[in-house]
Chains A and B, each alone.
Chain A
Amino acid sequence: MLTLSQTPPPFTPLGKKLFDANKPSYGPRAVPPAVGNDPMGNCDPLGLVRNLLLELVSVYPMEIVQTRDRVFQFFEWGHSYRQVWTDGRPLPKDADLTFNGISTGRWEGDTFVVTSGFFDDRSWLDHFGMPHSTEMTLEERYRRLDRDTLELNMTLTDPKIFTAPWVSERKVMKLAPRSREIAEQFCVPSQEAEFNRIVRDPAGGVVR
């Protein structure tokens, strides 16, 4: 499922207002992309949560690379990456907002725990138009169940949008064959604009 779980917590009034303003092209509220406002339709960055979800549950793989002081996750979609600092530093008190935020990681037994914040709020959390604010924080808990299986549980906290933390369902990933490499899957704005002009907009009955 391309979201954290089927049961998000209730919205705050602001959360509901932002959710209603987002017009996705997936799920029960789907509208033709031509008349929606999904940031993905212009190749805007997906933001960390949505990019993670896309890599977790679709055909796009991610690659994890560890170095002495950082863990990198390379995402096929958008040819993008995020870094998790593992040198013991805490999250900063203040920082610029970015689509992938700032992340620190530590080990709790067998579990790699990643805490993130400072997210730009222009992104959606998922394909269904779930909003978030700049105050969102995310905890990811990774555990390798066996050689080929990695489990991820997430808790998203955003008191401006949700009245309680949103705990994900358990996500399970499988090790891909070594022959599978991350492909160059840039979302190219000029290509997407051409697609929108030739296909998306006419298909949606929109003349621009």
Chain B
Amino acid sequence: MRGVIERCLIATVALLASTSVFAHHGTNASYDPTKAVTLTGVVTRFTFRNPHSFVEFDVRNEQGEMVHWVGEMNSPTVLREAGWTATTIKAGDELTMTLNPSRAGTPRGVVNRMRPILVNGKQVLGTGGSNEN
């Protein structure tokens, strides 16, 4: 039995992964999971990259002023598992999504992927997953 792994020899690989997930970096410290705000605006940029993806969009508030919101998302590794790609959201798209907003009251939030996300009026990718992983 000795050397079960050893006998795999050169460049034979064991690719290991666990299905466990872990809380995203500081999510509940920065954002309030008990609050949710659903916003509709026009995307200015979708940044799909490690370690955090984020989407920037302009939303007109009740006073008629344009507010630049940023929604924090997971890493591409996590998002890809849920079917996301770098072009799921594009600049110029009309976007509706729900954020758990910043505890500091700034126009920042973590995107709640358990709530519907609409791009140009159509729901993308269904709901599911968690913004906690």
Contact = CB atoms under 8 A, between A and B. Distances in A.
Interface string B10-38: 11111111111111011011110000000
Contacts of A202: 70, 102, 104, 106-108
A153 to B, nearest CB: 15
Nearest to A184: B50
B1 to A, nearest CB: 5
Interface of A: 2, 25-26, 30-34, 36, 38, 40-41, 55-68, 76, 107, 109-110, 112, 127, 142, 144, 150, 172-178, 180-183, 185-188, 191-192, 195, 198-200, 202-205
Given A64-B14, A192-B51, A195-B52, A40 B103 contact: no
A32 B108 contact: no
A33 B108 contact: no
A203 B106 contact: yes
Contacts of B72: 199, 203
Contacts of A150: 14, 16
Considering residues B70, B104, B109, B133, which has the most beta carbons from chain A within 10 angstroms of its beta carbon?
B104
A144 B70 contact: no
A58 B22 contact: yes
A144 B21 CA distance: 23
Interface stretch (B57-65, B74-82, B86-94, B112-120): B74-82
A177 B81 CA distance: 14
Contact of B17 (A142, A173, A186): A173
A60 B30 CA distance: 24
